[in-house]
């Protein structure tokens, strides 16, 4: 017995169909394990000074077939995008509390004082906040995320003054650039030391120092396997917390 011409063509197509079914089953299994798919990520600019690249490098090594889409956003923009399901996970500045969103702290750091290189306080080993009462400040705007505003304002209040804001700036490099040309002083996350910005001197603040950090945030109702795998890869040091309405 031998196959007819019709039978040979049918056999080729049948084998292709079986291979396609097996491929579809494999993709489905991998997607269920979070090994295949697409992940949309938001991030604050200062997350690129180490933590973002570290997390993404580890994740891509383990999950090379997941397509990543990244968008730089402020913390406030990420909160809205998470609620609207426009992104699945965000790298946000802490403290961060938003109804219905879960968080996982990645790290915390001190704020430091950024001074123009010619400033009178550059000779000091560390600076007390009270010494800045009459200085013009360059600050991150309050409405775009509390992590780079609220801790600074509260620390200054405890030191006995309210900062005199000379300029708002939404990008860390803009804050450092304005500081370098003498537009004012700034209180910035310690991670900016990695930038080694010319014309800016960074000084520790006297205890108690205000602190900030970077956390992952995501929607409490998001059950995506891809997201779960990403969160597991990012680290398990901190417990997740959710803010209720």
* pLDDT value for 245: 42
Answer whether 12-106+213-239 and 108-211 agree in fold: yes
* pLDDT value for 22: 61
Better pLDDT: 160 or 33 = 160
* pLDDT value for 11: 63
- Separation CA 229–CA 210 (nearest Å): 33
Q: Calculate mean pLDDT across residues 20-37.
A: 58
Residue 93 · residue 147 · CB < 8 Å: yes
Which of 3.40.50.1100, 3.30.70.1280, 3.20.20.60, 3.40.190.10 is the CATH number of 108-211?
3.40.190.10
pLDDT in tens, 48-104: 988 999 999 999 999 999 999 999 999 999 999 999 999 999 999 999 989 999 999
- Separation CA 163–CA 133 (nearest Å): 7
Residue 197 · residue 176 · CB < 8 Å: yes
Residue 215 · residue 105 · CB < 8 Å: yes
- Residue 210's contacts (CB-CB under 8 Å, 6 or more residues apart) are 110, 111, 151, 152, 154, 155, 187
- Domain locations in the chain? 12-106+213-239, 108-211
The fold of 12-106+213-239 is: D-Maltodextrin-Binding Protein; domain 2 (3.40.190)
């Amino acid at each position: 017995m031998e196959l007819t011409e019709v039978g040979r063509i049918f056999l080729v197509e049948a084998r292709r169909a079986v291979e396609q079914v097996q491929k579809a089953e494999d993709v489905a299994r991998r997607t269920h394990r979070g090994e295949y798919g697409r992940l949309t990520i938001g991030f604050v600019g200062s997350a690129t000074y180490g933590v973002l690249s570290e997390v993404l490098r580890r994740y891509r090594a383990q999950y090379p077939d997941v397509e990543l889409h990244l968008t730089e956003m402020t913390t406030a923009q990420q909160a809205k995008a998470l609620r609207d399901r426009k992104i699945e996970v965000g790298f946000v500045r802490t403290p961060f509390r938003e109804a219905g969103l879960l968080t996982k702290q990645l790290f915390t750091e001190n704020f430091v004082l950024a001074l123009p290189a010619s400033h009178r306080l550059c000779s000091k080993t560390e600076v007390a906040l009270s010494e800045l009462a009459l200085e013009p400040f360059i600050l991150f705007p309050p409405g775009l995320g509390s992590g780079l505003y609220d801790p600074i304002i509260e620390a200054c209040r405890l030191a006995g003054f309210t900062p005199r804001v000379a300029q708002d700036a939404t990008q860390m490099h803009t804050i450092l650039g304005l500081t370098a040309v003498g537009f004012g002083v700034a209180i910035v996350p310690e991670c900016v030391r990695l930038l080694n910005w010319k014309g800016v001197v960074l000084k520790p603040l006297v205890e108690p120092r205000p602190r900030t950090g970077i956390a992952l945030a995501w929607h409490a109702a998001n059950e995506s396997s891809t997201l779960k795998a990403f969160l597991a890869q990012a680290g398990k040091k901190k417990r997740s917390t959710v803010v209720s309405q």
